[in-house]
């Protein structure tokens, strides 16, 4: 991805929709800017988020920052990959008091194949720095598909081992075709399924015959 592409804005409405029914929505987080280089959002001051009257709870601020860093990582993940927070460090500089909202701006310090590090600056409406949060996100690789797992199993064996693995799969395929044929009302389709079952059985027989000759 080019530097220009990385700064293209993300659809904020679609991104906001992913928070529905989850903790970010409960917090009241609202996205303002989202690119692969920056995630900015605001959190409205509410009594439910306070530690004492008029002062926002530090845990709410930490959760706010954690969410932004996690979303920033998600926007940079390869297809199918996931993420989880590995470590987070927060420095508080001022109370989040006497303000209608706080704004968090998360930017990447490191974007690697296994981890990403994001730093989130949280400020009051008057611009006063409230907290700085640095977090490390683990990148969890996508789970291989069934086809990929089967391909890997076949690729690792010898020809004899591959044939021994394939023979029962051919028999299982034949049984599936016959089962589908039993419940198929269309005569032409039923015939095609039975022919496919015979081909699977024939393939299995060839492989089993090879095994006997070794």
Q: Is the pTM of this model over 0.75?
A: no
Helix (H) / strand (E) element for 160: namely: helix 159-182
CB-based contact 80:90 (threshold 8 Å): no
Question: Looking at residue 23, what is its pLDDT?
Answer: 96
Cα angle: 79, vertex 82, 83; to 5 degrees: 135
pLDDT (tens digit, 9 = 90+) per residue, 96-120?
998 899 999 999 999 999 999 999 9
CB-based contact 39:72 (threshold 8 Å): yes
**How far is 122 from 96, CA to CA, in rounded Å?**
9
Question: Looking at residue 7, what is its pLDDT?
Answer: 56
Question: Looking at residue 4, what is its pLDDT?
Answer: 39
Pairing between strand 101-111 and 115-124?
antiparallel
Residues 6+ apart with CB under 8 A from 169: none
With left for phi above 0 and alpha for psi between -120 and 50, is residue 130 left, alpha or beta?
A: alpha
Question: Looking at residue 1, what is its pLDDT?
Answer: 39
The two tokens of residue 135 are 């977090």
CB atoms within 10 A of CB 27: 20
CB-based contact 120:104 (threshold 8 Å): yes
Task: List per-block mean pLDDT (blocks of 10 residues) for the chain, which spans 214 residues.
Answer: 53 94 96 96 95 95 97 93 95 93 97 96 95 97 74 78 87 94 93 94 91 80
**How far is 205 from 50, CA to CA, in rounded Å?**
72
């Amino acid at each position: 991805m080019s530097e220009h592409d990385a700064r293209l804005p993300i659809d904020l409405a679609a991104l906001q929709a992913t928070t529905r029914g989850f903790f970010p929505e409960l917090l009241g987080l609202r996205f303002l800017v989202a690119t692969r280089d920056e995630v900015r959002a605001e959190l409205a001051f509410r009594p439910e988020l306070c530690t004492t009257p008029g002062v926002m709870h530090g845990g709410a601020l930490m959760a706010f920052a954690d969410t932004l860093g996690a979303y920033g990582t998600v926007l940079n993940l390869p297809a199918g990959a996931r993420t989880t927070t590995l470590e987070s460090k927060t420095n508080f500089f001022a109370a989040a008091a006497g303000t209608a909202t706080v704004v968090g701006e998360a930017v990447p310090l490191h974007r690697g194949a296994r981890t990403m590090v994001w730093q989130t600056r949280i400020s009051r409406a008057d611009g006063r720095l409230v907290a700085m949060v640095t977090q490390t996100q683990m990148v969890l690789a996508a789970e291989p598909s069934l086809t990929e797992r089967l391909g890997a199993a076949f690729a690792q064996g010898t020809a004899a081992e591959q044939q021994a693995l394939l023979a029962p799969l051919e028999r299982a395929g034949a049984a599936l075709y016959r089962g589908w044929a039993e419940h198929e009302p269309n005569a032409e389709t039923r015939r095609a399924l039975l022919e496919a079952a015979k081909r699977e059985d024939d393939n299995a027989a060839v492989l089993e015959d090879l095994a006997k000759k070794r």
